[in-house]
Structure 1
């Protein structure tokens, strides 16, 4: 028999190898787009992404269209900018389950120690979504915070805690600079009401924090400096048991 009866011609094998390399390169570049957006912590234009990756705009546009079709990117931020999409939440559901399981005893202990409500928030684009909320068992009053609640990154204490881990910018306001210096965020207005929120970012070695721990008090308290270290410690302990 001819050799071709046993194996495809070499030129066919080479073509497949070339196709495999092309697909692998495209996948790698798509993942790099997501990594750039995650590291920047803000929406970027196609040109900014192309510059960061050293790719041409036509190549980046093709990647962006494909990622957006799979809901891994959002184009709703406007001004021709792209941000991470909600499709990533679907892919990360199992990770969230592991995160919730690992963080629960720490969040519960914090809520019990401060006799209030403690929540774990994850950054989703320009919002914070609360994936775990625990109320102290014997708290006489509590700020209700349902799991799945979303708060704007720019207008919440949790968002402020996450933003303090971003690269400093000349546009940073005094509140953000103060939070960055302290290592935590605190406000005495919660969702429009006179109350207190203290929030600390969960440390990340990969760049800006993607998670934060927040405690909510139904009144304005005057011992924030005494309670904040407990929140910071809880965030650090979560970082020690699960990678976010």
Structure 2
């Protein structure tokens, strides 16, 4: 009897954890945030269950509640993200900072997670009146946006891949316009580590068009500098 009760309790705990992780994954795809009832609807949860999950995540700072009642990913996730691939991040931060300041754009380090690209670290410029806010933890399909396309371009060619990936492989860097955010342009290069498949890229994102001829040497140099530190 006691054993069956313990087993049931463990099953309930696992289900709660699974639901909490699904909430985080959902919010990662919605940078503008979602209302609690929207979370409940998207995940097919009772509103009370969704509310409890959101409150628990809120207590741990994994999400934040905005003034309009919407929930978004919180600062607590940044602390967790910093412990992921610390060597890569340590090598990338100086290059990200240099790109952000020299080019006046938001610089980002992105890694592959299965069929998705995940923003691992971002650095915003300190001397601009306007720049793109690109949140750590944001996810998008790996074959979209310069950051994801650059990762695929650093790998072996695949049948049926997008022409943008093929073109990026030939050029050594990827460029995209309005793929993730309307009006925003991105440019990124793959980070090669000897003996390993490409799993990361470094790049920038700005509002408006990018002057490739001016920007791409900076991006290529940053990717190369990180690669040298990881060899």
TM-score, L = length of structure 2:
0.61
Q: What whole-Å deviation, never above 9, does each CA across 1:176-213 have from its counterpart, x for those lacking one?
A: 22111100000121424122100100012224311100
Which residue number corresponds to residue 208 of structure 1?
197
Question: Among residues 149, 170, 179, which one is paired with 1:181 in the alignment?
Answer: 170
Question: What CA distance in whole angstroms lies between the structure 2 residues aligned with 1:206 and 1:95?
Answer: 20
Q: Contact conserved, 1:162 with 1:209, CA < 8 A, in 2?
A: yes
Which residue number corresponds to residue 48 of structure 1?
none
Which residue number corresponds to residue 223 of structure 2?
235
Aligned residues: 151
Q: What whole-Å deviation, never above 9, does each CA across 1:149-185 have from its counterpart, x for those lacking one?
A: 1121022221100111221234233222211110000
Question: Among residues 93, 99, 102, which one is paired with 1:113 in the alignment?
Answer: 102
How far does residue 94 in structure 1 lie from its aligned partner after superposition? Answer: 4.6
How far does residue 95 in structure 1 lie from its aligned partner after superposition? Answer: 5.4
Which residue number corresponds to residue 206 of structure 2?
217
Which residue number corresponds to residue 194 of structure 1?
183
Q: What whole-Å deviation, never above 9, does each CA across 1:89-144 have from its counterpart, x for those lacking one?
A: xxx97552332223211110111010110000111111111111001101221110
Q: Which has the larger radius of gyration?
A: 1
Provide runs of 4+ in structure 1 moved above 6 Å.
none
Q: Contact conserved, 2:96 with 2:109, CA < 8 A, in 1?
A: yes
Residue 111 (structure 2) pairs with residue 122 (structure 1): yes
RMSD over aligned CA atoms reads 1.9
Q: Contact conserved, 1:190 with 1:197, CA < 8 A, in 2?
A: no
Which residue number corresponds to residue 93 of structure 2?
104
> Relative to structure 2, which stretch is displaced further, 179-188 or 203-212?
203-212
Residue 140 (structure 2) pairs with residue 160 (structure 1): no
Question: Among residues 153, 158, 163, which one is paired with 1:169 in the alignment?
Answer: 158
Q: Contact conserved, 2:144 with 2:179, CA < 8 A, in 1?
A: no
TM-score, L = length of structure 1:
0.57
Change (3 A) 1:168 1:115: same
Q: Contact conserved, 1:162 with 1:208, CA < 8 A, in 2?
A: no
Unaligned runs of 5+ in 2: 1-80
